[in-house]
Every structure is written in C-alpha cells, then in structure tokens.
C-alpha cells in the first residue's frame, strides 16, 4: 500500500507515524510546502518574544529524524498542486527547482491546514505587514524585529494568535494596540467573560480598539498607518494581520470533492471525503460540534492530531470514528489563564437551546492555605434536560485543570448536576474539599430543585427603582461604600435576621454580594421568612468588571479609540 499525505504538520505527521506503527511495509510519502515538518504552531508567538530561545526548539522532528524512526519519505518545499482521482495521482511541484511530477497513491490524505485571511485591503504589499502561520513567518517577524527594533505594533484581530503575539511584543518593550471589529476579544468567550481578558490586557499597557474595522494600510517613511473605517488611523512601526483563518482547501476545489462551510472539506466520521480513497483531517475539514451536532470548523491542534490518528487507522483497514469537537482551548494572557469548552451562551441561545448558567468566583485552592487566587467560572446547562453544554473559566491559577474536568464531563454526556458527585483530588495547596467544579454542581442542583432563583447581569438596568421590589446588597458597609449598584440598600448578611423589619413583606427581593455566596445565604434566610428572593449570578465583582469594561468601550467610541 502506498499512502501520499499532503501536509506534514499536526494531522499529517500524526497520521504518517500512526500508519507506520500499524503497517511496517506501507510506502508513505509526505509533501510539505514549507521547509519544516511536525512543528509546534502554538509555540510560534513565544519564539517571537524570546520565551522559546532557539528556532530549532519549535520543530518536534526533522525530515531526517522522521525518516530514521519511521521510514517516512518527508519531502519539504514540495507543493501538491492538483489531484487526479481518476488515475489516483497528484501533481507535485518542487519549490526549490521548479520542476513538476506526478506521484501515484493507493490512499491519499489531505492535511493542508488553514491559511490566514488576507482581504484585498489597500497597502497589503508593505514589508511592515506580517501574518503568522509557519516557522518561516515566525523567523521573518523575528528577523524584522532584530534588525529594525520597532517600538510599536498594531495587531488586527483579537483571537488566539493576536493575543499571544500581543503579549510577546509587549514583553519586548513595544507599545501594542489590538484592533478588533467586534466589541470583544476572543470570540469563543461570552462578552461578560471577555471583560476579564480586556482588563488584563489593559493592565499591561495594551490599547484596545474594539468595534473598529480595518479598511487598509498605508506605508509611511517611518512606520505604517492602519486605516480604520470609523476612526483616525493608527500609526505603528509594524502590523500583524491576525483577523482569522480560512480552510486551505484550494487543492480540493478542482476535484469535485464535496465542500462545506467556508469551502472546507466535508468528511464523514471516518475522515473520508466524498471521493473514494481520499481522506482529510485538520483545520481544512468540516466537523460536527459535539454539543449541538451542527456542522462547524475548529482550528485547533488537538482535534487535528486525533483526526490524523483516526484517518490512519481507517487507511490501514480499521474502523475508528471521530465523534466531533468541543472547541476545548486555553490561552495564557500575561499572568491570566482563560479557558473554554463546549459552547458559549451566545451560541446556545442562537441554537434555540433553553440555557441557564451559574457564575462563581472560587479560589484555586483552600482559602486558609496561603497564596490562593480567585477564578471566575461560568458554567452553562440546558434547563429542560440538565445537560452540561459549556464552560468558561478565567483566573490566575488552577484554571486549566478545572476546564479539563468539565470538558471530560461534557464528553461523558453528564448532567450538570452530576458535577457535584465528581470525586476530585484534594489537598490544601491544590484544591478545596469542595472543589470549584463540585461547587458549580451544587449551585446548579439548587437551581434545578428550586432552592435558589437567580437574577442576571442583563436585568440590572431593567430592575424597577420605584419601590415595587426590594434591592438588597448584603456586603459589609466598607465594601458597599467602595462601590454599589444604584438603588440597592445595604444590610450585611450577618445583620439580616435582626433587621428584617426594614424589608417590606410581599415584595420580591433581589439580592447581591461580592461573589454570590453571602447573597445566597441571605436568600435562604429571607425565604425562611416567606420572602420571594432572587440571587445575583456572579456577584458585585463580576458586575463591576463587566460594567467598567463596557464603559471603557463606550468611551472609546465617543473619542474614537480605547484608552
């Protein structure tokens, strides 16, 4: 059996190694148009900033080492330009010599990945404008920085690459501005959770231009101007274009192969395309969203590697299946960690799901053990079925392990209430006896059983201030004086029983505290005396962060730029 693989990075390299482990006699040829194979895409921004010191540390294998171990013919600087399914060959161009030839195959695997979006903006040909996809791109950016010593940079796009490069350029001493057409960064997160990401970036001096669209670039003698649709141009010494990626499926388009979202390659759960003996994996393929079952694109290394293994199994006569992706991801933003899995609230509502949520602010380990750090967790579930459908967690420690637990629970199709039953490891330096994941389960269980009713951030402005409801803040007077929501009266939770006479019977009571715990206790006290109570999801800390972020964004629109 002869297998030809197009693309030698995540999915392609994984498939090649797996095929060899399953079939020692298979002939395996990999064509990679760049000069590197099996490299760490996710590590590229950290080479720019110097965290990864040597370029060779970005590559897990070389063509020589891959051949020595797996006897796979890895040909770099070779681009497959056409597929001929009728005669089971591909046309290949040697990018060094310019020569072309045909290569036959019994099985063909496509793993071309995704390419950066490059709109037809004016000024796209300037040498001060960069994209980041390959090792060569990284080396080019690093070389430019070392040669020209830029003092400022504009990054267009607020996704994973944009934020990681922003952090690394800041650490090189540059003044960095991120331009994003939406009013939030990091689209997998809901806007309320993204507020914590915005705050961390601003804290480290990154300027945010949210809700502004780029319409072109203009090279100047000193630097480059980023032209905005609705604001004054931004001037910088260099620009990174990171507005997103699109499936690199140009090779498939001329074959009659079935295509899907954004021209992606449609595959079944065996990673087979619509043409016999041709498989496809990675960022170029359309897959199923595990939670909703809808078609989607997920450009992440984890799914690409899994798909490569599955395709390899089936190429070698197996029957492996890919059950879809959840989009589980994590990102470091200076000192902050932000992670997500499943779908967010915005996506759930757009899909017509009856979604509810809990928002909590636990510490990463036992409160009495020194050094605890607060995290913010937003966990989503379907009201009717109690199905766990998504989570977003942002904090300074312990975020990654909690998101992985919830990602596993989603994959296991657990109910959200079952999070309270998980038997998770505990010692004071690592967790609490009631882990934050357990706490989310307890809270959801209370909601499902009707023990607690919630009110939410989006209701704040609509709450009547005419005396028809009671608005109650149960924090200490000192906390209340440092900031509170207009119209809320302050009765600390520990004084509540003695001051019940100040709360008029027969009116609904909307309660808030700093994190949601004291207000929960207050609602239970009040419920015991017959009051109709609602606990604020997230607490004042959550409200204050989101409100401040929105005020900054609105101010930015008024003056044309975020400060």
DSSP string of 217-284?
Answer: EEE-SSSEEEEESSSPPEEESEEEE-S-EEE--HHHHTTT--B-GGGPEE--TT-B-SSTTEEE-GGG
Catalytic residue among 42, 170, 533, 551: 42
- Over residues 114-173, the pLDDT tens digits come to 999 999 999 999 999 999 999 999 999 999 999 999 999 999 999 999 999 999 999 999
- For the segment 26-73, what is each residue's pLDDT rounded down to a tens digit? 999 999 999 988 887 888 999 999 999 888 888 888 899 999 999 999
**Backbone torsion region of residue 186, taken as left when φ is above 0, otherwise alpha when ψ lies between -120 and 50, otherwise beta:** left
- 3 state SS of 90: strand
Q: How far apart are CA 534 and CA 313, in angstroms?
A: 53
Chain centroid offset of residue 232 CA: 30
Q: In angstroms, rounded to a whole number, what is the distance separating the alpha carbons of residues 323 and 293?
A: 10
Which three-class secondary structure state does DSSP give residue 20?
A: helix
Q: Are 510 and 469 in contact (CB under 8 A)?
A: yes
Q: Give the C-alpha separation, 505 to 157, whole Å.
A: 52
Q: Are 15 and 312 in contact (CB under 8 A)?
A: yes
Q: Are 49 and 146 in contact (CB under 8 A)?
A: no
525-536 b/e with 16+ CB inside 10 Å = b? bbeeeebbbbbb
Q: Which residue has the tokens 């010692």?
A: 427
Q: What mean pLDDT is predicted for residues 201-212?
A: 96
Residues 58 and 359: their CA atoms lie apart, in Å, by 38
Distance (Å, whole) CA 285 – CA 274: 12
Task: Give burial (CB, 10 Å; 0-12/13-18/19+) of 79.
Answer: middle
Q: CA 228 to CA 214: how far, in whole Å?
A: 5
Please check whether residue 344 is in contact with residue 190, taking contact to mean a CB–CB distance below 8 angstroms.
yes
Token duo for residue 178: 């991120």
Is the pLDDT at 557 greater than 70, yes or no?
no
Q: Which residues contact 458 (CB under 8 A, 6 or more apart)?
A: none
Question: Is the model's pLDDT at 562 over the cut of 70?
Answer: no
CA-closest candidate to residue 315, choices 31, 80, 110, 15? 15
Question: Does 551 qualify as catalytic in the annotation?
Answer: no
Rounded CA-CA distance 461/333 in Å is 31
User: With bands split at pLDDT 50, 70 and 90, how would you rate the model's confidence at 249?
Assistant: very high
* 148's tokens: 């020209």
Please say whether the dihedral angle defined by the alpha carbons of residues 202, 207, 209 and 213, taken in this order, is positive or negative. Answer: negative
Q: Does the pLDDT of residue 559 top 70, yes or no?
A: no
Evaluate whether 404 touches 370 at the Cβ level (below 8 Å). no
- Residue 216, phi then psi, degrees to nearest 5: 160, 180
Q: How confident is the model at residue 563 (pLDDT cuts 50, 70, 90)?
A: very low
Q: How many other CB atoms sit within 10 Å of the CB of residue 146?
A: 8
3-state SS track over 354-397: CEEEEEECCECCCCCCCCCCEEEEEEEEECCCCEEEEEEEEECC
**Alpha carbon distance 430, 436 (integer Å):** 11
Residue 246, strand partner residues: 115
pLDDT at 321: 98
> pLDDT class for 558, splitting at 50, 70, 90?
low
Buried/exposed code over 318-334 (b: 16+ C-beta within 10 A; e: otherwise):
eebebebbbbbbebebb
Sheet holding 265-266, edge to edge: 265-266, 285-288, 295-296
Specify the 3-state DSSP secondary structure of 183: coil
Determine the number of helices (DSSP H) and then strands (DSSP E) in the chain.
14, 31
Tell me the average pLDDT of the chain: 95
Of 106-110, 230-234, 522-526, the one with minimum mean pLDDT is 230-234
Reported as half-sphere exposure (CB side, CA atoms, 13 A), residue 471 has a value of 16
How much is the pLDDT for 153? 98
Task: Label residue 561 by pLDDT band (50, 70, 90).
Answer: low
301-338 confidence digits (pLDDT tens): 999 999 999 999 999 999 999 999 999 999 999 999 99
Question: pLDDT (tens digit, 9 = 90+) per residue, 361-414?
Answer: 999 999 999 999 999 999 999 999 999 999 999 999 999 999 999 999 999 999
Residue pLDDT, tens place only, 518-527: 999 999 999 9
343 within 8 A of 292, measured Cβ to Cβ: yes
In b/e form, how buried is each residue of 195-227, taking b as 16+ CB within 10 angstroms? bbbbbbbbeeebbbbbbbbbebbeeeeebbbbb
SS3 content of the chain, % helix, strand, coil (to 5): 35, 25, 40
Give CA–CA dist 205/185, Å, rounded. 16
Q: What percent of the chain has pLDDT over 90?
A: 93
């Amino acid at each position: 059996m002869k297998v030809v693989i197009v693309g030698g990075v995540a999915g392609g390299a994984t498939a090649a190694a797996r095929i060899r482990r399953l079939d020692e006699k298979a002939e395996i040829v990999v064509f990679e148009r760049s000069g590197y194979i099996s490299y760490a895409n996710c590590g590229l921004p950290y080479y720019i900033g110097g965290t990864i010191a040597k370029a060779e540390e970005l590559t897990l294998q070389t063509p020589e080492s891959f051949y020595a171990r797996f006897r796979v013919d890895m040909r770099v600087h070779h681009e497959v330009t056409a597929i001929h399914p009728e005669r089971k060959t591909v046309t290949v161009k040697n990018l060094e010599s310019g020569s072309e030839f045909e290569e036959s195959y019994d099985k063909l695997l496509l793993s071309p990945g995704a390419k950066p979006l490059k709109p037809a903006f004016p000024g796209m040909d300037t040498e001060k404008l960069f994209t980041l996809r390959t090792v060569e791109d990284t080396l080019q950016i690093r070389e430019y920085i070392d040669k020209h010593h830029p003092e400022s940079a504009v990054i267009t796009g607020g996704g994973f690459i944009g934020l990681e490069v922003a952090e690394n350029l800041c650490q090189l001493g540059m003044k960095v501005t991120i331009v994003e057409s939406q009013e939030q960064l990091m689209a997998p997160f809901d806007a309320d959770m993204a507020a914590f990401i915005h705050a961390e970036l601003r804290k480290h001096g990154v300027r945010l231009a949210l809700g502004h669209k780029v319409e072109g670039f203009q090279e100047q003698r000193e630097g480059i101007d980023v032209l905005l649709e609705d604001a004054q141009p931004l001037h910088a010494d260099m620009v990174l274009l990171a507005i997103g990626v699109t499936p690199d499926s140009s090779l498939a388009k001329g074959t009659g192969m079935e295509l899907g979202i954004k021209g992606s390659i449609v595959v079944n759960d065996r990673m087979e395309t619509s043409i016999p003996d041709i498989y496809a994996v990675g960022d170029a393929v359309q897959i199923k969203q595990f939670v909703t079952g809808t078609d989607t694109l997920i450009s992440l290394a984890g799914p690409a590697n899994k798909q490569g293994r599955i395709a390899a199994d089936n190429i070698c006569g197996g029957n492996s299946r890919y059950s879809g992706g959840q989009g589980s991801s994590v990102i470091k933003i200076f000192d902050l960690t932000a992670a997500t899995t499943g779908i967010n609230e915005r996506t759930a509502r757009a899909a017509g799901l009856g979604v509810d949520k809990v928002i909590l602010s636990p510490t990463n380990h036992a409160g009495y053990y020194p050094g605890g750090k607060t995290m913010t967790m937003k966990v989503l579930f379907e009201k009717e079925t109690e199905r766990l459908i998504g989570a977003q967690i942002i904090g300074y420690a312990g975020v990654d392990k909690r998101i992985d637990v919830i990602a596993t629970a989603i994959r296991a199709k657990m109910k959200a209430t079952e999070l309270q039953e998980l038997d998770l490891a505990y010692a004071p330096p690592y967790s609490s006896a009631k882990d934050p994941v357990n706490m989310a389960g307890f809270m959801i269980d209370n909601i499902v059983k009707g023990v607690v009713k919630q009110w939410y951030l989006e209701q704040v402005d609509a709450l009547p201030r005419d005396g028809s409801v009671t608005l109650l803040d149960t924090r200490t007077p000192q906390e209340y004086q440092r900031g509170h929501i207009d119209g809320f009266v302050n009765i600390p939770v520990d004084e509540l029983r003695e001051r019940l006479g100040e709360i008029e019977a027969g009116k609904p009571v909307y309660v808030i505290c700093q994190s949601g715990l004291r207000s929960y206790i207050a609602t239970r006290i009040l419920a015991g005396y017959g009051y109709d109570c609602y606990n604020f999801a997230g607490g004042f800390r959550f409200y204050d962060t989101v409100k401040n972020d929105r005020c900054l964004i609105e101010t930015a629109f008024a003056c044309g730029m975020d400060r």
